[in-house]
Amino acid sequence: MKKKVFVFFPDGVGLRNFAFTDFKNIGERMGFDITYWNNTIFSLKDNLGFQELNIEDHSAHPLLPVYSRARKRAELNVSRDKFRDDVYPTYKFPFNYKGLKNIFRSIYVQGLEALHSSEKGVVKLRQKINKLERSTTKYTYCKAQLEAHKPDLIFCTTQRATQSISALLAAKDLGIPTVAFVYSWDNVPKAMQVVETDYYCVWSDLMKEELLKYYPFVHENQVFVTGTPQFEPHFDTSLKESREEFFGKYNLDINKRYICYSGDDETTSPLDQYYLEDLANAVRSLNDKGYNLGVIYRKCPVDFTSRYADIIEANKDIIVVLDPLWSPVGSQWNQVLPTPEDFAMLYNLCEHSEFVTNVCSSTVFDFVVHDKPCIYYNYEQPQLKKGIRDIGQNYKYVHFRSMPSEKAAVFCADKKDLENLVQDILDERLSNIKEGKKWFEIVAGNAPLDASKTIWKRIDTILK
């Protein structure tokens, strides 16, 4: 008899990995009965023809945001003290004191944080969060769904969503095994382990070490190294289009060599538009010297600002905008969802660009799979002033310590060096590909093509 697995989407961030890749087909070929347990407003049945069970009750305890934020801040304080490292407080977002409600909430969080910034304190906060979520109607609703459908296992597609807590608690209380996938390469040190499940799937040995390091309640036999489906499409050569086909589809100049500028969200890089402007100026200067270059700007899918518009308009002879093929189905950042067609666009953008430039983005890995270099901007902009976040702190984060060497990316530490770095990469005098591939293996594991299959094998192991 086939084992019934619920693939749980608490929000939309997991769709790219687990709905739009070959993940479902691989699982079905291995004999699993798969139902998508869907907490999002994206219909997997209507859009993809998948068997789904919708969660209609989206209630959460009113105090959940307060306790969740206090839990995260307390965990970061514990890491700061335990590892004697001041990087951890830099992961905290500033408090909001605009309006009485925000003032009260901020003071409440600060009080909880002060009282619980120890390992025992964090455990108490987690227990309190679980108690709160067990009291919600969503918990009762999800428990009834599980009792009716009787899945053999719940696979949660991200560990970072508070929307998943009540549903996973219902599963655990019914004795149904639960597995969480750790969603992103930077999530573990940032105290983004929201859920507690029976097992965890992580990208790499590095991520496993981190999970055990930061979360003493997790034991080694609970953690499986699987890789991530995120990079699987880059190995699917059926997505590849010829240069002529790709350039024709997006009205690119076949005679130009294009550099990809991968945009960032406003939190990570608040002055991101000025780095795009710097690249456009460098390209313009090189074109004056006989090069024939253009810039492809691909925005961050969850950046809703208009901050690039003036710079793109002023450089429209150089910059071509290729927006990612993501679709907004709501007003929140995690309700902007990728489409399957975006895999092909990103594959060919990597394949037919000369290299990528950005501020600390994981697109370094997308491009290095295609043997393309990456420039990271690492200098301040003159527009930087009090209250604007300096991008330099990004490179001090824990996940950047995974670089095998400083040559894993090409760092531009001074604006005046940018043109020469661009020229050296174009003329093949400079590259980070060799070290970048080493970094990719450290972060994503040594079998990125087999991630989906490996996850299903681990699920099979758990069920046996």
Domains (ranges, CATH) in the chain? 4-60+136-227+448-463 (3.40.50.2000), 64-117 (no CATH), 233-444 (3.40.50.2000)
Neighbouring C-beta atoms of residue 22, cutoff 10 Å = 14
- In 3-state terms the chain splits into helix, strand, coil percentages (rounded to 5) of 50, 15, 35
**Residue listed under structure tokens 């428990």:** 143
Q: Are 142 and 170 in contact (CB under 8 A)?
A: yes
Which of 10, 15, 27, 435 has the alpha carbon at shortest distance from 230? 15
CB 2 within 8 A of CB 150: no
CB atoms within 10 A of CB 359: 20
pLDDT of residue 331: 60
In the structure encoding, which two tokens stand for residue 376, read together?
Answer: 């990271």
Model confidence, pTM: 0.94
pLDDT value of residue 133: 98
pLDDT for position 330: 61
Give the pLDDT score at 329.
Answer: 64
For the stretch 354-406, pLDDT in tens is 999 999 999 999 999 999 999 999 999 988 887 777 888 899 999 999 999 99
pLDDT score recorded for residue 333: 58
Q: List b or e across 419-433, with b for residues whose CB sees 16 or more CB atoms inside 10 angstroms.
A: bebbbebbeeebbbb
Give the residue ranges of the chain where pLDDT is below 50.
none
- Please tell me the predicted confidence (pLDDT) of residue 302: 82
Angle at 32 between CA 26 and CA 37, to 5 degrees: 95
Q: Is 142 exposed, middle or buried (0-12, 13-18, 19+ CB in 10 A)?
A: buried
Most distant CA atoms of the chain, gap in Å:
70
Residues 45 and 143: their CA atoms lie apart, in Å, by 22
Residues whose CB falls within 8 Å of the CB of residue 420, separated by 6 or more in sequence, listed in order: none
